[in-house]
Amino acid sequence: MSDDSKKNELSGEANQETGETPVEEDQDGTQDQSNGDGAAANAEDAVEVSGHPPAKIDDILPDQLVLYPLGGRPFFPGMLTPIQVEGSPYYDTIRYALDTPGKMFGIILSHAEDGDKVFNAEQLFKFGTVARIMEAAVNEENKQVKLLAEGISRFEIVEIVKGEPPIVARVVHHDKASHKMDVEVIKPYTLAVISALKDILKYDSLYQEQVKMFLSRHNFGEPDRLADFVASMTSSKREELQEVLETLDIRERLEKVLVLLKKELEMVKVQDKISKQVEEGISEHQRHFFLREQLKEIQKELGITKDDRTADVDQYRARLEKLTLTEEAEKKINDELGKLSVLETGSSEYGVTRNYVDWLTSLPWGVHSKDKLDIRRARQILNRDHEGLDDVKERILEFLAVGKLKGEIGGSIILLVGPPGVGKTSIGRSVAQAVGREFFRFSVGGMRDEAEIKGHRRTYVGAMPGKVMQALRLKKVANPIIMLDEVDKIGASYQGDPASALLEVLDPEQNNEFLDHYVDVRFDLSKILFICTANQLDTIPRP
């Protein structure tokens, strides 16, 4: 018989045993694992044995077994698992087993999770499962074997006879006949396991096929078989499952399985709760965000991190504690934060609202730098940075001296007029350095849109505040020095008159309640020192 026909025969008989088509997978959710050096069977992939009633094993189980190290999870008695082996040393292990009269070998868990790389007996647990080869397809040329193994009973290693592959050990066998079962003691545990199993089925349908298969072929008079089946069905840790495998007393085994099953039940309840919470918050146009939202809910349940929405709101509230807000601004920001906390993070409105709140909380409400009104120091800085311009320097020093007497220099406007290149802009920087204020310059030459000064209304896509509010956010103080360059070249168009918008910015009677179209909350500009520059006076627009 060819190798292909043997494989087909194996697949066909596997279908007869399980009622399902065998699937080749790997350990991360697989039934058939292989690699270049060997292969490991996974107990997760095992299915309940059908049509093979337990044999009377006392007389047929050998005292010595060749051992097959297993990575991942332990393999339990009463299960079926496909195994694919390629290359030494595991090909030799399976061939050794095939040559024995009962075609039996021991499947045993390794302390290392990559059990298929274990080549010595020191890394093996003491307890494993005797497996009987039901069918095998051998390719001697490529040293490949595909087989279907049936779990028979537990065994315990007594002595290692051969420590190198193929590993051989002298063992003692443990089956249910060797352990007395008090029916009255075990029955409550059996019923508790069955009850927990039914509860899990209410939340997760993935277990239904496995449970139906077990219940249709076994009665509850086999509590040991029930315990092994339920343990293999859970997603418990490998160490916990190995502990179940090593527990010989049926009552204790059922008790441990019940604990694992309760943990599994709590996990599926949380998963079900998360799924419902996510589904309730999804609308049709946001359905593609489902997996991302589910991940956020999982992180929330574990307390790993906050979702984006909560983190944003907390961040903005933390900013508010450092600001001295007006009553109007505080009410506006709190209203917007309330709206932000209920919007879906994937919606377009969330992005618009978040950007608006970010602007409101980034403005320097009540934040002012302290002026350094030292006339002697100011004179030194002006003389250091500029040669000549004595009349300009004297006028600036007079202005600073008056400000020192008044106690402040805010709310004033300085106009510097002269041809290009005489130092108007650099004089402004020197003044800012002399009084210890932040300096911001922008040119209004050629400006034809009043939105450059007063901002765009939030109803427009891509709306932003005007230059003045941008300067305040950038410099992080409410009293910088702002230089308006080339005010004599400002223009006008159908989009508005920027010169008229500047009037509200510069007029001391109006700028204490300046209203930017985007910010939409009054802001006090009266503490700002404005310095304007022009090349000639006659082209400056009149009010």
Task: Give the mean pLDDT of 279-296.
Answer: 63
Whether residue 34 contacts residue 87, with contact meaning beta carbons closer than 8 Å, is answered with: no
Question: CA-CA distance, 215 to 201, in Å (whole number)?
Answer: 13
> What are the pLDDT digits (tens) for 378-399?
999 989 988 888 888 898 898 8
The CA distance from 322 to 359, in Å, is 15
pLDDT confidence of residue 55? 44
What DSSP character marks residue 289? G
**Cβ(492)–Cβ(499) under 8 Å?**
yes
Helix (H, G, I), strand (E, B) or coil at 482: strand
Cα distance between residue 123 and residue 115, in whole Å? 9
Q: Which residues pair with 170 in a beta bridge?
A: 64, 159
Give the H or E element holding residue 275.
helix 250-280
For residue 302, is pLDDT > 80? no
Q: Measured between alpha carbons, how far is 334 from 360 in angstroms, rounded to an integer?
A: 11
What homologous superfamily is domain 375-534 in, according to CATH? P-loop containing nucleotide triphosphate hydrolases (3.40.50.300)
Please report the pLDDT score of residue 46 as a whole number: 42
Q: What is the pLDDT of residue 216?
A: 64
Cis before 89? omega within 30 = yes
Most confident listed range (2-6, 98-102, 182-186): 98-102
> Residue 468: what pLDDT?
92
Instruction: Tell me how far apart the alpha carbons of residues 42 and 30 are, in angstroms, rounded to a whole number.
Output: 8
Question: Would you state the structure tokens that stand for residue 498, as one six-digit string?
Answer: 């920027």
Using CA atoms, how far apart are residues 276 and 274, in angstroms rounded to an integer? 5
pLDDT digits (tens, 9 = 90+) for 324-381: 888 999 999 989 888 887 777 777 888 888 899 999 999 999 888 888 888 899 999 9
Over range 524-540, report the average pLDDT: 89
Tokens matching residue 350: 């969330």
Average pLDDT for 505-511: 86
DSSP 128-170: EEEEEEEEEEEETTTTEEEEEEEEEEEEEEEEEEE-SSSPEEE
What would the mean pLDDT of 181-186 be, rounded to a whole number? 76
Share of the chain above pLDDT 70, in %: 79
| 155 pLDDT tier (thresholds 50, 70, 90) | very high
What's residue 180's pLDDT? 58
Q: Please, which pLDDT band fits residue 406 given cuts at 50, 70 and 90?
A: confident
Dist. CA 29–CA 40, nearest whole Å:
13
The fraction of the chain above a pLDDT of 90, given in percent, is 23
From residue 490, how far is each of 160, 291, 451 by CA, in Å?
96, 53, 13
Question: Who has greater pLDDT, 11 or 194?
Answer: 194
pLDDT, mean of residues 274-300: 66
Residues 6+ apart with CB under 8 A from 24: 30, 31, 32, 82, 84
**Calpha distance 133→420 (Å, rounded):** 97
Q: Which two tokens stand for residue 390?
A: 């004595």
Per DSSP, 523 falls in state E
Q: Which pLDDT does position 181 carry in this prediction?
A: 64
Each residue of 443-490: pLDDT tens digit? 888 888 888 888 988 888 888 999 999 999 999 999 999 999 999 888
- In order of 108, 197, 263, 457, 516, the CA distances from 70 in angstroms are 6, 27, 25, 67, 71
pLDDT digits (tens, 9 = 90+) for 45-92: 444 433 344 444 444 788 999 999 888 889 999 888 899 888 877 888
Placement of tokens 């090909």 in the chain: 91
Is the model more confident about 523 or about 542? 523
Higher pLDDT: 309 or 244? It is: 244
Q: Residue 491: its pLDDT value, please? A: 77
Residue type, 225: R
| pLDDT above 90 (res 105) | yes
Which one is predicted more confidently, 295 or 146? 146
Q: Does the pLDDT of residue 286 top 80, yes or no?
A: no
**Res 15 pLDDT > 50:** no
CATH code linked to domain 3-176: 2.30.130.40
Q: Tell me, what amino acid is at 514?
A: F
In terms of residues, how long is the chain? 543
- Rounded to an integer, the average pLDDT of 188-211 is 81
Average pLDDT over all residues of the chain: 79
Q: Which residue has the higher pLDDT, 132 or 86?
A: 132
Mean pLDDT of 114-122: 64
Q: Give me the sign of the Cα torsion angle 255, 257, 260, 262.
A: negative
Q: How many CB atoms lie within 10 A of CB 478?
A: 21
**Phi, psi of 434, deg, nearest 5:** -65, -40
CB neighbour burial string for 105-128, b if at least 16 within 10 angstroms, e if fewer: bbbbbbeeeebbebeebeebbebb
Q: 183-277 maps to which CATH number?
A: 1.20.58
Task: Note the pLDDT of residue 6.
Answer: 39
For residue 67, the model assigns a pLDDT of 92
Q: What is the pLDDT of residue 284?
A: 53
Residue with tokens 């007079």, as numbered in its chain? 398
Residues β-bridged to residue 168: 66, 162
Domain boundaries, the chain: 3-176, 183-277, 308-362, 375-534
